[in-house]
């Protein structure tokens, strides 16, 4: 007795592909959210490290005659903008 092959309709294939895309998008969105949270945490830690180093340092750091601490406080973003310029 021969078996009959069930043919999958085009609509079923489309539905299956859409479900796969939705699942992949959900995983992607979750991974992006986790990455953003980790980057935010890293920037905060860098900001604290730079601020602590500036507070405990006996040296004066100036960029174009603007003190770094004042620049960081005025920018509202902390000292991460000047992190590449300062060497401790």
Query: What is the residue-level pLDDT of the chain in tens, covering all 88 positions?
Result: 556 666 778 899 999 999 999 999 999 999 999 999 999 999 999 999 988 888 887 776 655 555 555 555 655 555 454 445 544 3
Residue 66's DSSP bridge partners are 63
Q: What is the pTM of this model?
A: 0.52
| Alpha carbon distances (Å) from 70 to 50, 59, 63, 65, 67 | 13, 15, 11, 11, 5
Q: What is the pLDDT of residue 87?
A: 43
Q: What is the pLDDT of residue 54?
A: 80
Contacts of 75 (CB under 8 A, 6+ apart): 81
């Amino acid at each position: 007795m021969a078996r009959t092959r069930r043919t999958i309709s085009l609509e079923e294939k489309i539905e299956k592909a859409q479900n796969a895309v939705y699942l992949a998008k959900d995983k992607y969105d979750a991974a992006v959210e986790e990455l953003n949270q980790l980057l935010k945490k890293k920037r905060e830690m860098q900001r604290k490290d730079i601020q602590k180093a500036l507070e405990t340092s006996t040296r004066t750091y100036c960029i174009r005659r603007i003190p770094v601490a004042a620049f960081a406080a005025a920018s509202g973003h902390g000292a991460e903008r000047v992190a590449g310029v300062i060497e401790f």
